[in-house]
Amino acid sequence: MTSPIRLSRLHVAAAVLAGALAAATPASAQPDPETIVNAFEAVLGPVRTHRPSHPKGTCAAGHFTATPEGTRLSVAPVFSGQRNSAVIRFGVAGANPNASDTARGTRGLSIRFESPAGELFEMANISAPVFGAPTPQALVDGLLSRANDPATGRPNPERAAAYAAFVAANPSVANQGRFLAANNPPASFATTPYWGVNTFLFRGQDGQVRPARWVFEPRAGVARLTAEQMQSMGPNFLADELRGRIAAGPVEFDMVLQFPGQGDDLLNPTVAWPEDRPRTVVGRLVVTSVEAGPGGPCDPISFMILDQAPGIEMSDDPVLQARAAAYAVSLSRRTP
């Protein structure tokens, strides 16, 4: 695992870079990272002790090794084919650190990879193929539509109506909700796919840049709670289930790249690409141990590094563009 000294240096660097990135962002293009995190806090109140998103989580460790196809498709150190160590966080979506594990909503798989030479790469994925906002502004507007107006102590009806009109005009915003309504929550952190949702640009050994999205497919297969289990399972079963499973052997996921076809939207993470698009396995994530309790080495990590590795570069997806700086601001607020 990465040493605490290295983590705190990264934390400082992230905060500095977040400032630089915020200054470089045209105000008209998207909300700055402070505004984004303020919108979370407008709904939740100041968040200083935990993440404003996926606050409930379980920290684990393992390793990741690229397949030869992964090495061919990306020059990033993480895809060299050597074994990378991994700090892994499984999370439960929402804003409540005591959320129930049986609730409809996404589960998270966040990973910090560290190459043998010490290069870092981070990602945060969800158990749904799409996100709930097409732009950072839509995310902020959605949050603020639910926030209490300080003057009245209640949500502002005009804001709520404006956001409802936006949703009506942009029906793909509801795609994530539709997926979650049609698919019960996973029976285990180890039995759901986790999608990266945003489009990244993979720079291959041949110099070609290929847009792609990724999904981590569970090698144990997909298993979801039945309607009866959604009533009968306890609110905190997922962490213990994972510990028990790993005591019997590692939990594994295949990292699969999906490539777009003609006309697929590269920039809108509320729209999934059709199932029949070409896919290829680029690596294997192996989870080998789980922390005894909550927290642990995952706490000081935001799982969205600012300086993206060469070889896995950011597309122009506005949601992706907004994430890293907002995560850095959030990290600096909750880990003073």
Does residue number 172 form part of the binding site for ligand HEM (CB under 6 A)? no
Does residue number 332 form part of the binding site for ligand HEM (CB under 6 A)? no
Distance CA 35, CA 210 (A): 32
Which of 11, 50, 54, 63 is flagged as catalytic?
A: 54
In the window 177-196, what residues touch ligand HEM (CB under 6 A)? Answer: 196
Question: Is-contact 285 253, C-beta < 8 A?
Answer: yes
Does residue number 52 form part of the binding site for ligand HEM (CB under 6 A)? yes
Query: What φ, ψ does residue 184 adopt, rounded to 5°?
Result: -60, 160
Does residue number 233 form part of the binding site for ligand HEM (CB under 6 A)? no
**Chosen residue from 14, 54, 191, 311 binding ligand HEM by CB under 6 A:** 54
Number of residues near ligand HEM (by CB under 6 A): 31
Distance CA 290, CA 297 (A): 11
**Chosen residue from 66, 139, 256, 266 binding ligand HEM by CB under 6 A:** 139
Query: For tokens 């927290």, what's the residue?
Result: 295
Only one of the segments 64-72, 124-132, 254-262, 279-287 lies at the binding site for ligand HEM (rule: CB under 6 A); that segment is: 124-132
Query: What φ, ψ does residue 52 adopt, rounded to 5°?
Result: -75, -10
* 3-state DSSP assignment of residue 74: coil
For residue 105, the minimal CB distance to ligand HEM (Å) is 11
Distance CA 144, CA 167 (A): 14
Annotated active-site residue 54? The verdict is yes
Which residue number places its CB atom closest to ligand HEM?
108
241 Cα distance to chain centroid? 22
In the window 28-47, what residues touch ligand HEM (CB under 6 A)? Answer: 36-37
**Chosen residue from 136, 193, 296, 297 binding ligand HEM by CB under 6 A:** 136
For residue 172, the minimal CB distance to ligand HEM (Å) is 14
The angle subtended at Cα 313 by Cα 206 and Cα 262, nearest 5°, is 75
For residue 173, the minimal CB distance to ligand HEM (Å) is 13
Distance CA 146, CA 280 (A): 40
- Taking residues 250 to 289 in sequence order and writing x for each that binds ligand HEM by CB under 6 A, - otherwise, the string is -------------------x--------------------
- Taking residues 75 to 114 in sequence order and writing x for each that binds ligand HEM by CB under 6 A, - otherwise, the string is --------------x-x----------------x-x----
For residue 187, the minimal CB distance to ligand HEM (Å) is 19
User: Residue 196 or residue 283: which is nearer to ligand HEM going by CB?
Assistant: 196
Neighbours of 247 (CB within 10 A): 9
In terms of Cβ atoms closer than 10 Å to its own Cβ (0-12, 13-18, 19+), residue 152 is exposed
For residue 331, the minimal CB distance to ligand HEM (Å) is 5
Per DSSP (E only), the strands in the chain are 56-66, 84-92, 107-114, 120-126, 148-149, 154-155, 194-195, 200-203, 209-218, 251-258, 279-290, 312-314
Please, what's the b/e burial string for 161-182 (b: 16 or more CB within 10 A of its CB; e: otherwise)?
eebeebbeeeebbebbeebbee
* Residue ranges binding ligand HEM (CB under 6 A): 36-37, 51-54, 57, 89, 91, 108, 110, 124-126, 131, 136, 139, 196-198, 269, 302-303, 319, 322-323, 326-327, 330-331, 334
Residues annotated as catalytic are 54
